[in-house]
Structure formats: structure tokens, C-alpha cells
């Protein structure tokens, strides 16, 4: 049943006169207009028309403890009372760094910034400085922000992307500097032979290899056995800096992120999202010899008015002790597993070729009978079937992302009652997808 959205429609008409597309991130655009929200609590959000939704976006996986977690909100309220915001170093910054490094003992030092894009740029600058080399290799389908070198071969047109052994770097949007895009080396996820061969071939001018250790911006695609270790070994052999983008895996799959789960330690890693339960913050962490190069006069600058922002650090100071116990990840991981198993049973019963892949709080639906192990296999998902399924979910009060190659998440606040409601919505949505697939 369609939802009443007249207030959102009116706000869209007003916003379009001042804001391109009426939204401040293109991922929030939707047809016929965006939905505007006014309140959130636990697993739910409410729009300006009073409709309540189960949220399975959860700040793109950032809000692991649930919307408005009392501990985080209380810490933020106390920090607000101080009157401090930015441009000065907060008295508790070192305490937050200690909490961070207790969760992630594989890293020696950490510095805080604001967004994942910024953290990745810092990592690339540092890798170039440390190695004296220029080029960067990334995995096809991994998203590391919207900079010229990193928004490359993400949601790539496979007709133009080359073969798995000779991938063509493709700009993710107009306006990128083509010479920077063309210099990026692109390799396939979960292909040890081709990935290590690329590193060997370009070792003389390769500064860094960067990847999501689990491909989550394409849904949820785990690394094959020994893949991460093979990259670690090849980078060590050739003096290449290995960078893990743990924006989505950090503090989510385990307190120590993917490094803890898969037992492979990179030279540098970037973090954000769950670090402050949705408040804007990111971090660069790594080995002491590399991180010390960011100190004044020793290498690349690490500056920013909003770096170490008091409010975001206060949120992190409350979130990290909870995340550090590991109990949140175990609880949420079990709930994600339950959703995947329930969806699988329903899909099999209806004869729909579809599955959920997930871990930690993250999951995504794939409408394909192929094994999903990289971007190209993920791209076999049936976009029309996904569209029918997603549209049905929205009509049933589940807010999600419309892109068939995106990612979703639950939180600690998604209890059994919410999971029951989601499974019921999945059944109706899969029935709609079955009709579309038959047309």
C-alpha cells in the first residue's frame, strides 16, 4: 500500500529551488522525490508525514548501537555544555585514542579526521612519501570516497572495463582528472594470481595497494581464503604499502575489524562509521614508523579545522567501550545470520534465485544464482527483480537504498520483533520479485 508523502513532496519542491536535486547527497535521491525525515529512535525513523519505518540503512552502517543510543547521546550532551567545538585539541582526545587502539591492537598510532575520503587521501599521501613512488592499485568495485584517484572502477560499466587480467580504470563520475584516473591500477577481488601478478609487474612504481578487506559497498563479499594474506605477502616483498579501508568493517565485524577476523595486518587502515555511532568522524591508523611521518616537518601534512571535533570524539568515547567488549558484534552478527537464513528459506520456497550475504551488522540482497565473489559476479543481480522487491519493502515501511548494488545494515536495536517484521516484509517483497521475474 502506497504511503502518504505529501509533506515530503512539498519539501522537495521547496528544496529544489535552493539545493540541487533537493538533497545533500545524491544517494538520498529517489523517484518521484526524496523522503524527508524528522526523528529517529532505536531501529526506526519517522518521516515528515508521520510514517514510521524500520531502518535498514542505519547511516550506511554507521549506527551500530541504534538511533539515539542513550550513552552516546549523554556523552554528546555533556560535551556540548563545555562550549568547545573545533580548532582546538580536546582534553580527552588521548583517552579516545587509547580506547581506539585497545579495540584495534594491530595498529600502533591513530589520528582523527572527518570523513573516509579524507582518511584515504591521508593514507595515499603517506604511502607515496614513504615509498618515493607514485602509483596506486585498487580493487574493482571497492569504494574509497569520491577523490579523483579513488572514485575509479566502482560501479563500472563492464562493457568498457576490460578483461579480469587487464582491467581498464574507469572514472566513477564526470569531472575527475583523467590523467589521475588512467594512472590507477585496477585488480580483481578474490583473484590471487592476477592481483599478485599486477603487484609484481608494477612494483617499481607502486606506492600502495588499497582495498576493502570485505567488499561491503557492493553488498557483502568476503575475501577468499588466503587472498588477503597473498596481498600482504606481495606488498611486503616489494615494499608496497598495504592499506585496508575499514570504514565499514572496523568495530563492526569484531572490535578489531577485519584484521581481527581474518588475521592479516595492513600497514595503514582507515576507519569511521561505527566509531562514533553515526557522528561524523574518521581515522587513519597504522604502524608507528609510518604514522610518525605525519608529524610536523617529517612528511605529509595532517591538518583540518574539524579534525578531532569535540562532539564526534565525545560520541566515540561512549561508543568504543561498548564496542570493545565484542558482545555487540556477536549479538548483531547472529541477527544478521537469522535474516539471511530466513530470506533464503522464503526465496527457495518461492523459487526465486536470491540470497542475503552478510556479516556483523551488514547485509545485502542479491537476485542471482551465481556465486558472488567479486564485483562482476555481483553485477549479475537482476535489477528489475531487486527493484520490485525494494519497492515492496518501502510500501511496507522499510527504508532502504534503491541501488541493486549497495549495502544495508541492522543494529543492536533491531530486536526479535523487528526481525519478525522484516522477514514478513521479505516474503511479500519476494512474491513481488517473482512476478517481475516472470514478466
Q: How many alpha carbons lie under 13 Å from residue 323 in its C-beta half-sphere?
A: 37
Please give the sequence-ordered ranges of beta strands (E in DSSP) within 204-346, or none if there are none.
206-211, 241-245, 268-271, 282-286
Q: Catalytic one among 36, 53, 55, 143? A: 143
Q: Catalytic annotation on 279?
A: no
Q: Catalytic annotation on 245?
A: yes
Q: Catalytic annotation on 273?
A: yes
Residues 220, 409: contact at Cβ < 8 Å? no
Residues in a beta bridge with 113: 282
Q: Catalytic one among 53, 138, 273, 366? A: 273
Place of cell 569535540: 310
Joined grid coordinates for residue 329: 558484534
Residues 118, 247: contact at Cβ < 8 Å? no
Closest-CA residue to 213 (of 202, 204, 221): 221
- How many residues comprise the chain? 439
DSSP string, 33-65: ----EEEEEBTEEEETTS-EEEESSHHHHT-TT
Is 260 in a helix, a strand, or coil? Answer: helix
Closest-CA residue to 378 (of 359, 351, 357): 357
Residues 339, 75: contact at Cβ < 8 Å? no
Burial of 425: CB neighbours in 10 Å, binned 0-12, 13-18, 19+: buried
Task: In whole angstroms, give the CA distance from residue 74 to residue 90.
Answer: 17
Closest-CA residue to 266 (of 292, 232, 289, 297): 232
Joined grid coordinates for residue 98: 587509547
Residues 116, 143: contact at Cβ < 8 Å? no
Q: Catalytic one among 55, 191, 245, 267? A: 245
Query: Can you state the angle between helices 327-350 and 416-438, rounded to 10 degrees?
Result: 30
Residues in a beta bridge with 209: 137, 242
* Active site (catalytic) residues: 143, 245, 273
Amino acid at each position: 500500500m502506497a504511503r502518504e508523502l505529501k509533506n515530503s513532496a512539498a519539501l522537495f519542491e521547496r528544496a529544489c529551488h535552493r539545493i540541487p536535486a533537493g538533497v545533500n547527497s545524491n544517494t538520498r535521491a529517489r523517484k518521484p522525490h526524496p523522503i524527508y525525515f524528522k526523528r529517529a529512535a532505536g531501529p526506526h525513523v519517522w518521516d515528515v508525514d508521520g510514517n514510521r519505518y524500520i531502518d535498514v540503512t542505519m547511516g550506511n552502517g554507521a549506527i551500530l548501537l541504534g538511533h539515539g543510543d542513550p550513552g552516546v547521546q549523554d556523552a554528546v550532551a555533556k560535551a556540548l555544555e563545555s562550549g568547545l567545538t573545533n580548532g582546538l585539541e580536546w582534553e580527552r582526545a588521548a583517552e579516545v585514542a587509547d580506547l581506539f587502539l585497545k579495540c584495534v591492537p594491530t595498529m600502533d598510532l591513530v589520528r582523527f579526521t572527518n570523513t573516509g575520503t579524507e582518511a584515504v587521501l591521508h593514507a595515499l599521501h603517506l604511502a607515496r612519501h614513504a615509498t618515493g613512488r607514485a602509483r596506486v592499485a585498487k580493487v574493482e568495485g571497492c569504494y574509497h570516497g569520491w577523490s579523483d584517484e579513488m572514485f575509479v572502477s566502482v560501479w563500472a560499466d563492464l562493457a568498457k572495463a576490460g578483461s579480469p587480467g587487464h582491467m581498464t580504470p574507469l572514472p566513477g563520475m564526470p569531472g575527475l582528472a583523467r590523467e589521475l584516473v588512467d594512472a590507477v591500477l585496477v585488480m580483481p577481488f578474490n583473484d590471487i594470481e592476477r592481483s599478485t601478478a599486477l603487484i609484481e609487474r608494477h612494483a617499481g612504481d607502486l606506492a600502495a595497494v588499497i582495498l576493502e578487506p570485505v567488499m561491503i559497498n557492493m553488498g557483502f563479499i568476503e575475501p577468499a581464503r588466503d587472498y588477503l594474506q597473498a596481498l600482504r605477502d606481495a606488498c611486503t616483498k616489494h615494499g608496497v604499502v598495504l592499506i585496508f579501508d575499514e570504514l565499514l568493517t572496523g568495530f563492526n565485524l569484531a572490535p578489531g575489524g577485519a584484521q581481527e577476523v581474518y588475521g592479516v595486518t595492513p600497514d595503514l587502515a582507515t576507519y569511521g562509521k561505527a566509531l562514533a555511532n553515526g557522528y561524523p568522524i574518521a581515522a587513519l591508523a597504522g604502524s608507528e614508523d609510518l604514522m610518525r611521518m605525519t608529524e610536523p616537518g617529517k612528511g605529509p601534512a595532517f591538518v583540518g579545522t574539524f579534525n578531532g571535533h569535540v562532539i564526534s570524539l565525545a560520541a566515540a568515547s561512549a561508543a568504543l567501550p561498548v564496542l570493545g567488549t565484542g558482545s555487540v558484534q556477536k549479538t548483531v552478527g547472529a541477527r544478521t545470520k537469522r535474516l539471511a537464513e530466513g530470506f533464503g528459506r522464503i526465496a527457495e520456497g518461492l523459487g526465486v534465485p536470491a540470497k542475503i550475504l552478510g556479516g556483523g551488522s551488514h547485509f545485502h540482497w542479491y537476485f542471482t544464482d551465481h556465486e558472488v565473489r567479486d564485483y562482476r559476479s555481483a553485477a549479475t543481480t537482476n535489477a528489475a527483480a531487486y527493484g520490485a522487491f525494494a519497492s515492496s519493502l518501502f510500501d511496507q515501511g522499510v527504508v532502504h537504498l534503491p541501488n541493486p548494488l549497495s549495502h544495508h545494515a541492522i543494529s543492536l536495536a533491531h530486536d526479535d520483533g523487528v526481525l519478525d517484521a522484516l522477514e514478513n516484509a521479505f516474503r511479500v517483497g519476494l512474491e513481488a520479485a517473482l512476478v517481475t521475474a516472470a514478466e
